[in-house]
Amino acid sequence: MSDAVMTTLLQKQLDHISQQMGWVMERTARSPIFSESHDFSCFIADAQGRLVSVADGIPIHTGGGGFAVAAVMRDFGPDDIAPGDIFILSDPYEAGGNHLPDWTIIHPVFVSGELLAFTCNRAHQSDIGGGAAGTYNASATEIFHEGIRLPVMKLVEAGRLREDVWRLLKLNSRCPHLTDGDVRAMIGSTRIGGQRIAALVTEFGRDAVVRAFSAILDHAERHMRAAITDLPDGVYEGVDASDTDCFETVDVPVRVRITVAGDRMTVDFTGTAPQVKGFKNSSLANTHSAVYVALLSHFEAPIPRNAGAFRPIEIIAPEGTVVNALYPAPMTSNTVYPATEIIYAIWKALAAGQISQACAGWGKAAHCISSGLDADGRTYVMYHMHAYPGAGAVRGRDGFPSLGTVITLGGMHIPNVEIFERKYPVLIRRQEMRCDAAGAGEFRGGTGIDYSVDVLEPAEYSFRGEGARTASGFGIAGGLTGAHADIEVRSPSGEALDIPQYGVRRLPAVRVDISSSAGGGWGDPFARPPEKVARDVEDGVVSPAAARDHYGVAVTPDGQVDLAETARLRDRRAQHVQNRL
């Protein structure tokens, strides 16, 4: 078998193992955030801690996963990592974590007594203590308000669970019944991954597998260098911003300066806003993940997702900024914000060099988490994911109506409403695509969602309203920006309740109405085929008036395209553009 064939075969095998780990986790975890939504990611590193497969889950989890493995290797030398050991960590300052709710299980894989790899599972826990149930304390001003901080610890030592650490984890969660099952599922998934890697060694031999690890990384590096070379040498700049530090209205820009020189790229965040009071500050590991999400989603799909692809990229993240905050800044929201601003700033910068591959902005998320006691007196945590925003368009494809936040790139699932109504004291009244919200374009942005839910009992709410004041799904290549979000909370009598953009509130039974942010459009809206516009009108996501105003398409009351009027509208617009030139 040739080296190239072996490399390709083992890359596919490793990616399949990552996905198998994910299947094990999804089918055995207790929390709906895992079993229904897949808010976890499984990845594999070699014995040097280099990521060789990140095929499962959410890219914001995995891109910086090497920081976590490196922390294990730093804190436990070769003599202290033994067969049967399993490690756990979360802290962004001390343990290579991205934010505290993402606990990472790292399982060293030994074959014939020799360390060969690490199988890993990073999963967002339902609750880790702190100042608000559900992991997102929007009132936090330091990391100590956000929950338990986990350094690198041995959770399993020589095959035996450390009961003292296990008790520590459960004592620091409002949902110990979920923690118990979820962490066991994480351990089980990494053990299965280890068994599958050992089987590869049995089939192909240790030396062949180790050589393949290096070859896989080199292969990805070559692909990334080739992709960078397709960009003209030069400097590309972009900026995206938040409009709040979680406590007051303030501009929080993330600025990037990308320098392309041959087959190398420097991504420099000098000039980015200082770290903020609230919990939207990024750890270095999280910033690296966000950069990789931005680049790998901009470039063509064939680039393998592993550490080799990251080699040609230098990242400069000045300390004390929102992209590399100093202790003890709070960080829980960083996997979404400022990660989204990092991605968007890079996308905007790269659009100047490769407009054909440019991505329009996804809407930013405005929703809430509610928590209370279930019928058995145990704490539940419900993420209102059914109000997730619309995705941005790309050349050749409209944006998805609702696909989570951009840092997931579709890796999270939106749960079935009936399952949530069974598990939680809620009645979901509405979940449908918005009309006239999507950014118009040759390829239309995602519509966003109109969502309405009755929460039938008193609950605590953590509000996140990033897309509520400022439209965020920016258009590209002439496409228009998607609509901003809106969130309202009313009492059973219909009285509007005052809620913060970010913050924690205790509320009675209420109705929550959310119109989620919409995605941006790609390309000139007047280049959209009239029959597609008519279909959007038929589907109720574009009104006849918007079809006429934004797309230059006249749709008759029976849903047909008025060809003569459409031609007149588009000719008039073309003449107007010509006159401006």
Identify the bridge partners of residue 431 per DSSP, sorted by sequence position: 451
3-state secondary structure of 99: coil
Mean pLDDT of the chain: 95
Q: What is the pLDDT of residues 535-546, one digit of tens each?
A: 999 999 999 999
Helix (H) or strand (E) holding 46: strand 40-46
Specify the pairing of strand 40-46 against strand 51-53.
antiparallel
Q: Which amino acid is at 476?
A: I
Query: How many angstroms separate the CA atoms of 357 and 477, rounded?
Result: 10
Neighbours of 109 (CB within 10 A): 24
Query: Across residues 543-560, what is the average pLDDT?
Result: 96
Query: How many angstroms separate the CA atoms of 480 and 525, rounded?
Result: 8
Q: What is the pLDDT of residues 339-353, one digit of tens each?
A: 999 999 999 999 999
Per-residue model confidence (pLDDT) at position 471: 93
Query: Across residues 123-147, what is the average pLDDT?
Result: 95
Place of tokens 């680039």: 303
Query: How many angstroms separate the CA atoms of 467 and 490, rounded?
Result: 20
Per-residue model confidence (pLDDT) at position 579: 75
Q: What is the pLDDT of residues 368-399, one digit of tens each?
A: 999 999 888 899 999 999 999 999 999 999 99
Per-residue model confidence (pLDDT) at position 145: 97
Over 90: is that where the pLDDT of 77 sits?
no
Over 80: is that where the pLDDT of 309 sits?
yes
Query: Across residues 523-541, what is the average pLDDT?
Result: 97
Query: How many angstroms separate the CA atoms of 341 and 252, rounded?
Result: 9
Evaluate whether 168 touches 183 at the Cβ level (below 8 Å): no
- Report residue 183's pLDDT band, with 50, 70 and 90 as the boundaries: very high
Over 90: is that where the pLDDT of 173 sits?
yes
Provide the percentage of residues in the chain whose pLDDT is more than 70. Answer: 99
Query: How many angstroms separate the CA atoms of 29 and 104, rounded?
Result: 15
Per-residue model confidence (pLDDT) at position 515: 97
Give all strands of the β-sheet with 379-383 in edge-to-edge order. Answer: 379-383, 366-373, 459-465, 502-507
Helix (H) or strand (E) holding 513: strand 510-515
- Report residue 2's pLDDT band, with 50, 70 and 90 as the boundaries: low
Evaluate whether 391 touches 397 at the Cβ level (below 8 Å): no
Q: What stretches of 220-377 adopt beta strand conformation (E)?
A: 234-244, 249-261, 264-268, 313-316, 366-373
Q: What stretches of 245-378 adopt beta strand conformation (E)?
A: 249-261, 264-268, 313-316, 366-373
Evaluate whether 472 touches 361 at the Cβ level (below 8 Å): yes
Give all strands of the β-sheet with 249-261 in edge-to-edge order. Answer: 234-244, 249-261, 264-268, 313-316
Q: What is the pLDDT of residues 391-431, one digit of tens each?
A: 999 999 999 999 889 999 988 889 889 999 999 999 999 99
Query: Across residues 505-516, what is the average pLDDT?
Result: 97
Q: In the 8-state DSSP scheme, what is residue 81?
A: -
Task: Name the burial class of residue 539, with classes exposed (0-12), middle (13-18) and buried (19+) by CB atoms within 10 angstroms of its CB.
Answer: exposed
Over 80: is that where the pLDDT of 308 sits?
yes
Per-residue model confidence (pLDDT) at position 263: 97
Per-residue model confidence (pLDDT) at position 560: 96
- Report residue 581's pLDDT band, with 50, 70 and 90 as the boundaries: low
Residue 490 CB partners (closer than 8 Å, separation 6+): 496, 497, 510, 511, 513
Q: What is the pLDDT of residues 23-36, one digit of tens each?
A: 999 999 999 999 99
Query: Across residues 304-313, what is the average pLDDT?
Result: 94
Q: What is the pLDDT of residues 37-50, one digit of tens each?
A: 999 999 999 999 99
Per-residue model confidence (pLDDT) at position 404: 85
**How many residues can be counted in the chain?**
581
Query: Across residues 517-522, what is the average pLDDT?
Result: 98
Per-residue model confidence (pLDDT) at position 5: 81
Evaluate whether 532 touches 542 at the Cβ level (below 8 Å): no
Over 90: is that where the pLDDT of 578 sits?
no
Query: How many angstroms separate the CA atoms of 209 and 84, rounded?
Result: 21
Task: Name the burial class of residue 390, with classes exposed (0-12), middle (13-18) and buried (19+) by CB atoms within 10 angstroms of its CB.
Answer: buried
